[in-house]
Amino acid sequence: MLTLLLLVIAVALVFEYINGFHDTANSIATVVATKVLTPMQAVMLAAGMNLVGALWGEAVAKTIASGLVDTELVAITSQLLICALSGGIVWNLITWRVGMPSSSSHALIGGLCGAALAGANFNWHAIIWSLPAEPIWKSKGLLWKVVVPMFSSPVLGFIGGFVMMGLLFAIIAWMARRKGWLKRAARPRWVNAFFGKAQIASAGYMGFAHGLNDAQKTMGIIALALVSASTAGQLDGLPSWLGFLKPSQAALEHGDIDTWIKVACALTMAAGTAAGGWRIIKTLGHKMVKLHPIHGFAAETSAASVITLASSFGIPVSTTHNISAAIMGVGTAKRFNAVKWGVVERMVWAWLLTIPAAGGVAFLLVEIARAAGWM
């Protein structure tokens, strides 16, 4: 059983690494497309800020560990978690191969729900659908923590990008009507120079937000595996050199995430981010809309703000959805036909398919494992 538990941790870190290079584009597509930073410079900035963000909090990790699956109806075994993670990995690799920005967050959630459904012999009650609470952001379940944010957060990202771009255009237009240095500062050369520097900060903010939300999801899976194994007595009698695997009392009582889990996931995501993901960068930064530094700044700042706000409430939102929607909002503020809506349509289909596709793969893997006598 210890071998299986270690395998869960290894597969979880593989998912985290793939998440890093798969979602690198979310953090750096705009800053690369606007030529503010080279791809290598942008990747290193994103990796560093991913690391900082991943270590910053744990609210999202707690949601993944305890807010989506009813552990009284389905046993969270190491084998089930391996199938759940594998479902997310397979879908991530498929979408990465075709250069399509899909959500690693929803791939993981879909894999977890699909594996749980199979583990509970198709008992849909094994998935926590809705546990309303007051105030509403404390509600738990797939509806409140995943489905509602899946639609509302991109809308906020789109509106944020559109409004911020409109405000920036209005300010520049006002400056252009003034005299002296204000008029000179409104010239395209000065605007590009200013927002070229500002976009480095916004790209760093985007990397931080990505680490704050995405890295925590794998933390939640590892914590879930360790708490389940500890509760079942599978970690009793561990050798002293593996003592760190046993969850602390705070983790068992309050769902806190042990420090070593945070560090391992943060470093793994940073390493994956450093590996890059140029296929998706081309879709986000080049194919969807032509970007200049001012557009990149507006998109990154809007998307990162939505993600950071969601993270503070423990809501696992999609970095991909938010930055893509913000870029659409920025492009629409430019002019409606500045956005290549055919590319957007392909992306939306990938968004909608992610949870059921990853869940279907995980479900099949559980059934195969059961037929092979592994579960």
Segment among 91-100, 212-221, 265-274 with least mean pLDDT? 91-100
131: helix, coil or strand?
strand
Segment among 23-32, 214-223, 254-263 with least mean pLDDT? 23-32
Domain boundaries, the chain: 2-369
Burial label for 103, CB within 10 Å (0-12, 13-18, 19+), is buried
8: helix, coil or strand?
helix
Winning range, highest mean pLDDT, from 152-156, 284-288, 339-343: 152-156
185: helix, coil or strand?
helix
Helices (H), ranges, the chain: 2-22, 24-33, 39-54, 59-66, 78-97, 104-119, 142, 148-176, 181-185, 188-231, 249-254, 259-275, 278-282, 293-312, 319-334, 341-371
What's the rounded Cα separation, in Å, for the pair 218 and 263?
Answer: 12
pLDDT, mean of residues 97-121: 86
pLDDT over threshold 90, residue 7: yes
How many other C-beta atoms can be found within 10 angstroms of the C-beta atom of residue 334?
A: 18
Q: How confident is the model at residue 26 (pLDDT cuts 50, 70, 90)?
A: low
Q: How confident is the model at residue 184 (pLDDT cuts 50, 70, 90)?
A: confident
pLDDT, mean of residues 114-118: 95
The CA distances from residue 5 to 2, 16, 17, 27, 141, in Å, are 5, 17, 19, 32, 26
Q: CB of 300 within 8 A of CB of 326? A: yes
pLDDT, mean of residues 301-319: 90
Write down the pLDDT at residue 195.
92
Write down the pLDDT at residue 111.
94
Token pair, residue 96, equals 């990465």
pLDDT over threshold 70, residue 24: no
Write down the pLDDT at residue 114.
95
Of the chain, the percentage scoring pLDDT greater than 90 comes to: 28
Write down the pLDDT at residue 287.
54
The CA distances from residue 14 to 66, 86, 190, 212, in Å, are 22, 10, 44, 18
Write down the pLDDT at residue 288.
54
Write down the pLDDT at residue 245.
87
Write down the pLDDT at residue 318.
83
pLDDT over threshold 90, residue 367: yes
pLDDT, mean of residues 266-293: 68
Task: Report the half-sphere exposure of 206 (CA within 13 A, side-chain side).
Answer: 37
Write down the pLDDT at residue 79.
92
Residues paired with 140 in a beta bridge: 131
Q: CB of 8 within 8 A of CB of 77? A: no
What's the rounded Cα separation, in Å, for the pair 294 and 300?
Answer: 10
How many other C-beta atoms can be found within 10 angstroms of the C-beta atom of residue 230?
A: 18
Between 10 and 350, the higher pLDDT residue: 10
Write down the pLDDT at residue 276.
62
Write down the pLDDT at residue 25.
63
pLDDT over threshold 80, residue 108: yes
Q: Which residues contact 372 (CB under 8 A, 6 or more apart)?
A: none
Write down the pLDDT at residue 11.
94
Between 283 and 254, the higher pLDDT residue: 254
pLDDT, mean of residues 12-18: 90
Contacts for 355-358: CB closer than 8 Å, 24+ residues apart: 355/106, 355/107, 355/109, 355/110, 355/113, 355/146, 356/110, 357/91, 357/110, 358/87, 358/88, 358/90, 358/91, 358/106, 358/107, 358/108, 358/109, 358/110, 358/111, 358/114
Between 292 and 112, the higher pLDDT residue: 112
Residue 247's φ and ψ, nearest 5 degrees, are: -60, 145
Q: What is the mean pLDDT of the chain?
A: 84
Write down the pLDDT at residue 297.
93
Q: At what angle do helices 188-231 and 293-312 cross, to 10 degrees?
A: 30
Between 225 and 134, the higher pLDDT residue: 225
Residue 38's φ and ψ, nearest 5 degrees, are: -75, 160
Residue linked to tokens 């500045």? 338
Winning range, highest mean pLDDT, from 7-21, 82-96, 137-151, 355-369: 355-369
Residue type, 314: G
Q: Nearest-CA neighbor of 145 among 213, 95, 47?
A: 213
Segment among 36-50, 75-89, 199-213 with least mean pLDDT? 36-50
pLDDT over threshold 60, residue 285: no
pLDDT over threshold 80, residue 118: yes
Of the chain, the percentage scoring pLDDT greater than 70 comes to: 91
75: helix, coil or strand?
coil
Write down the pLDDT at residue 286.
47
